[in-house]
Structure 1
Amino acid sequence: MLKKILRRRNFLILQAITSIVLMIMVVRLGLVPTKYLVILGLVLVALELGMYLWLQPYKHRHHHDKKGKTRYLIGKIVSLVLSVLMVVGSLAVSKGNKSIDEMFNGNKEEITYSVVVLKNSSYKKLSDLNGKSIGIQPNVDTTNQNYILKEIAKKAKLSKTEYLNYQAVAQGLVNHSVECILLNEAYRTTLAEYDSNFSKDTRVVWKYTLTQNVKPQKKSTNAAGTFIVYISGIDAYGTAATVSRSDVNMIVTVNTNTHNILMTSIPRDYFVPLANSGKEDKLTHSGLFGVENTVKTVENFMDIDIDYYARLNFSTLTKVVDAIGGIDVYSDQDVHLNALGNKLITEGMHHMDGKTALAFARERHSYESGDRHRTQNQQDVLMAIVKKMMSPSLLTNYAQILDAVGNSFTTNMPADKMKEIASEQLNTNASWNFSSRFLEGTGKIMTGGYMMPNTKLYYTIPNENSVKQNKQYIKEILSNDTIN
């Protein structure tokens, strides 16, 4: 008799243990509001009580009663299935919690250096260059560059030829002044502005990737319940941690007291003083020195304190949009998306999948205002993603969403801060007011930029009134006002 009771109790004990573990995991996740935790707890208790009653033996039923045996067997199977589901759920929640911690606490950047030779040269590997000369720019990223040169020295002894800038370094290779150059791969797209055939006429014989921590942000002076996030959008291969130009630059001002969000976009070609040099160049070039350099550049230019940054890889935006079931975006005119074979998007609201959203965010040739309109579309796409992800219904799909975001996203916002915001939103399901603004400027082709001082490039000269007005808009959001 005791054996039978213990066998029955084994299923109930297993179910109870897995229920408790699941509850602990969900609590540790930190995303689920208290009222939902209470509901989950009551459901788990009800299931345990239900199975306890189901598996109770009938005193007056003969042990040969087939119905009683069948009921008992079904009860054990159901209890076992519930236990298995709770184990699976616990593992999924644990994995999600780990992914969130890694994503929101992983302040790292990846910098890739290459030894580059002319494509028609005979050099196949680094050792073939032993005794030759390597072109470098010594005054940029000196610490990392010296480390890389030491790694190179382990495989080949090269004499260094120094140049004033990367443009001169590339020219030295093309003119056969040196047999190879050391290239920070983040600068490759910048060199393409000087020589569109550079990548086609050269090849890489050695590559090394450095992973380093991003410096933490200083303590913000923004009032309680308010914070500013700088969003840097890159459009490059690799992870969002890859050091690259910042092609999308957006200041997101958030006031959780008034539920106002202001998105302020800055043109990628805005001619501003770079924080690392004090010299003016395109804002997009600030990203070549790391995301913290862009953050500091924007802080200095806009007279604000940025609490957090987030870097998004627009090349993998499709995965995120598809994971959340698509987004609803309004197009203010008929437009043909070149990236999708000239696909027509008519004026009005559209439900977009990942490919369409990415093409819409990239399109500029179909608009008279070009990059100005593209920036507006990028704001609309990001706004639609944020709105969709605020929906409580996505909580059941959060693991898939985290997998999709993966290498597409990196931030220095602490995981606890994100969980606090998400939990509050799930608890209140508050309606947010979104506003979007754009810093205006005048396009100009000229020389004099810090990175490529002798090359004529396109820059956007800031409109002082626009800069002043947008500074005021940000202050209004931070001071609990709603901008007109």
Structure 2
Amino acid sequence: SLSDLNGKTIGLCTAQDAEGIPYMEKALEKDNVQYTKQDFASVIDLTAALYNGEIDAMIINDGFLGIIHDVEDFTFVTTSTKVIYSEVYYTPRPNVIQDSQDQVNVTKEPFTVLISGNDTYGSLGENSRSDVNMLVTVNPKSGEVLMTSIPRDYYVEVDCPEGIACAQGEMDKLTHTGLHGIETTEATIEKALGININYTVRVNFSSLVNLVDALGGIDVVVDKGLAVKTFYANETLEGVSEGKNHLEGERALAFARERHAYVDGDNQRVRNQQIVLRAIIDKITSPSILLNYGNFVDAIGGAFETDMPSSQMKDLIRYQLTVNPHWKFESCSLRGEGSTEYCAELGTAAYVAIPDEESVRIAREKIEAVLNGKSAGSIQDPGASDPAGTIEQPEQDEETGLQDDAVYDPYDSYDSSAQYEDPYSPDQQESDSAYTDPYDPNDAGESQYYNPNWTLDDEQ
């Protein structure tokens, strides 16, 4: 208990938690605890002092436990230490997310969305590390969708939006910007890549689990050699096998987080995240989900935060329902080289990924290509395993009910302000719902399509 701290030395780090520490100091004062205070320059120095016996206890914000865990010597900090007292406090936060200041007509103009995935369960009200950082650039005119993944450990210059206190101009891992909100992550990525982001979407572990479960699960295809017997992130779950896998929420989360099972480590993890996102989009845009949109929204209430106005989301849904565009997905991942560098949020050196400037340039050009109505595949990336980074869809025919983009531009006849009747008759609903998108997202650039009726032994 707190009374056991009488006469002890307690460490703290006011430089990184000036707001929360006073609450704990008041609790100690209320219990008449007499102690010696020792301040440290960083939470890593603070934790090291506890491990080394220089102090008897430490005051630390839960939000920093994740970044302490990243330091190899303190990987098991949450199990090798004991919490003897905790204090909960609240900070003012807007009830309504402010709409984006960079809005466009999403059914007629191209736009880029930042998807930021926080490493927490529970409420989205808690700021924490941004472990998933993916840009999704959409051109509704051309039907191009580019997914650009940025490594969580990318070593970048932090950029703080007005009114947000963070390490402005300091170098740090991208993931640490999430501790100061998605606005900081957005501003930092815009500066690092020299691009403009129109909208943001913020999710966490619980968001993904709830979203996938609300969809009735998703289907992903695992390429040869990438099967996982047991997930490192959750050893209680069954892994994935080669070929098609149906994943419920928790398994989808574990698949998106897995990196220890792969030789390519974090690079394969971001590919998995793109596969999961693509599978979610496919399920969301299928007629069976769109025709039950109200029930779907009820099921995922509170699953994400976005600064895209609800009116624009409705426009996108109506556009998908009435036009059913043939989206072409392409992928891109930024690369970096491992190093150990000083991280402002930690106050000490840690593992980082030094950006490969050539891959940054290529990613920027791919984004610009999609915004300008061109294919991201027109920008070659010699350093990528698939230089084009293209996930091709099959040619469409009468059986699918979809039009071929080569002869049909759905945008030409679409009016976002018009009122449309439900385009699906009962017969169409039955045939559309039975249609499975046959692409294999792991065979980007090879156009080797996946048929759910095949087995792994079939000669195809």
TM-score, with normalisation over the residues of structure 1? 0.66
Q: Which amino acid aligns with 1:198?
A: V
SS at match of 1:369: coil
2:60 aligns to what?
A: 183
Q: 2:308 aligns with which of 410, 413, 420?
A: 413
Query: What residue number does 1:449 align with?
Result: 343
**Structure 2 counterpart SS, 1:419:** helix
Give the C-alpha shift of residue 205 in structure 1: 0.5
Q: Measure, in 1, the Cα distance between the counterparts of 2:172 and 2:84.
A: 28
Equivalent position to 2:44, from 167, 170, 186:
167
Letter paired with 1:420: D
- Conserved? CA contact 1:131–1:156, under 8 Å: no
**In 2, are the aligned partners of 1:280 and 1:449 still within 8 Å (CA)?**
yes
| Structure 2 gap ranges (5+) | 160-165, 378-460
CA contact (8 A) 2:104 2:111 kept: yes
Aligned Cα RMSD in Å? Answer: 3.0
Q: What corresponds to 1:323 in structure 2?
A: 214
Alignment-derived partner of residue 271 in structure 1: 155
Output aligned runs, 1:97-116, within 5 Å.
Answer: none
Letter in 2 for 1:201: T
Structure 1 Cα separation of the partners of residues 290 and 238 of structure 2 = 33
| Contact 1:391-1:426 at 8 Å conserved across structures | no
Partner of 1:253: 137
Q: In structure 1, how many angstroms separate the alpha carbons of the residues matched to 2:316 and 2:306?
A: 15
Alignment partners' CA distance in 2, 1:135 and 1:239: 29
Contact 1:133–1:178 (CA under 8 A) maintained in structure 2 = yes
Rounded to whole Å, the distance in 1 between the matches of 2:75 and 2:247 is: 34
CA 1:261–1:148 in structure 2 vs 1: closer, same or farther (change >3 Å)?
Answer: farther
Moved more, 327-336 or 247-256: 327-336
Post-superposition CA distance 1:369-391 (Å, at most 9, x none): 11111110111111110121112
Counterparts in 2 of 1:52-131, with a 5 A limit? 124-125=1-2
The 2-side partners of 1:217 and 1:420 are apart by 16
Map 1:219-238 onto structure 2 (within 5 A). 219-220=101-102, 225-238=109-122
Q: Does 1:389 align with 2:284?
A: yes
The 2-side partners of 1:151 and 1:229 are apart by 43
Preserved contact between residue 222 and residue 478 of structure 1 (Cα < 8 Å): no
Q: Among all aligned residue pairs of Structure 1 and Structure 2, give the percentage whose two residues are the same amino acid.
A: 37
Q: Secondary structure at the match of 2:47?
A: helix
Please tell me whether residue 310 in structure 1 is matched to residue 204 in structure 2: no
What is the 5 A alignment of 1:324-343?
A: 324-334=215-225, 335-339=227-231, 343=238
Aligned 8 A contact 2:100 2:307 in 1: no
- Whether 1:193 and 2:193 are equivalent positions in the alignment is no
Secondary structure of 2:85's partner?
Answer: strand
CA separation of 1:289 and 1:391: change in aligned 2, threshold 3 A? same
Distance in 2 between the 1:320 and 1:410 partners? 13
Structure 1 residues 304 and 322: CA distance shift in structure 2, 3 A: same
1:331-352 C-alpha deviation (Å, 9 max, x unpaired): 2224124226685644333333
Deviation at 1:268, TM superposition (A): 0.8
Q: Distance in 2 between matches of 1:240 and 1:313?
A: 7
Give the SS at the match of 2:308: coil
2:359 matched residue in structure 1: 466
Cα distance 1:198–1:318, how it changes in 2: closer, same or farther (>3 A)? closer
Which segments of 5 or more consecutive residues in structure 1 lack a partner in the other structure?
Answer: 1-123
Among 203, 207, 211, which residue is 2:87 paired with?
A: 207
The reply on whether 1:139 has 2:15 as its aligned counterpart is yes
Q: Is the CA contact (8 Å cut-off) linking 2:21 and 2:59 kept in structure 1?
A: no
How far does residue 357 in structure 1 lie from its aligned partner after superposition? 2.4
Q: How many residues align?
A: 357
TM-score (norm 2): 0.69
- After superposition, the C-alpha distances for 1:204-238 in whole angstroms (9 at most, x for unaligned) are 40221424436847632878622221111123232
In 2, Cα distance between equivalents of 1:162 and 1:326: 49
CA distance 1:212–1:337, change in 2 (3 Å): farther
Q: Aligned equivalents of 1:179 and 1:292: distance in 2?
A: 37
Contact 2:230 2:239 in 1 (8 A): no
Residue 450 of structure 1 aligns with an amino acid whose one-letter code is A
In 1, Cα distance between the equivalents of 2:238 and 2:246? Answer: 14
For the residues of structure 2 that align with 1:211 and 1:289, how far apart are their CA atoms?
13
User: How much does 1:463 deviate?
Assistant: 0.6
Relative contact order, higher structure (CA 8 A, sep 6+):
1
Secondary structure of the residue aligned to 1:233 is strand
The Cα of 1:422 is off from its aligned counterpart by 1.5
2: CA distance between counterparts of 1:476 and 1:210?
Answer: 44
CA shift digits 1:399-456 (9 cap, x unpaired)? 5433543444222222222122112222222221211110011123x2422233544x
Counterpart in the other structure of 1:290: 181
Cα deviation code 1:300-326 (max 9, x no counterpart): 111122222112223553332222122
User: Which amino acid in the other structure matches residue 183 of structure 2?
Assistant: E
Rounded Cα–Cα distance in structure 2 between residues aligned with 1:218 and 1:140: 29
Paired residue type of 1:424: Y
What CA distance in whole angstroms lies between the structure 1 residues aligned with 2:218 and 2:197?
28
Name the CA shift for 1:475/1:218 in 2 (closer, same or farther; >3 Å): same
Q: Distance in 2 between matches of 1:344 and 1:175?
A: 39
Higher Rg of the two aligned structures: 1
Q: Distance in 2 between matches of 1:179 and 1:344?
A: 42
2:191 partner letter: N
Q: Is the 8 A contact 2:113 2:201 kept in 1?
A: yes
Q: Is the 8 A contact 2:41 2:347 kept in 1?
A: no
Change (3 A) 1:344 1:129: closer
Deviation for aligned residue 1:397:
3.8
CA spacing shift, 1:174–1:324, aligned 2, 3 Å: same
2: CA distance, partners of 1:162 / 1:333 = 53
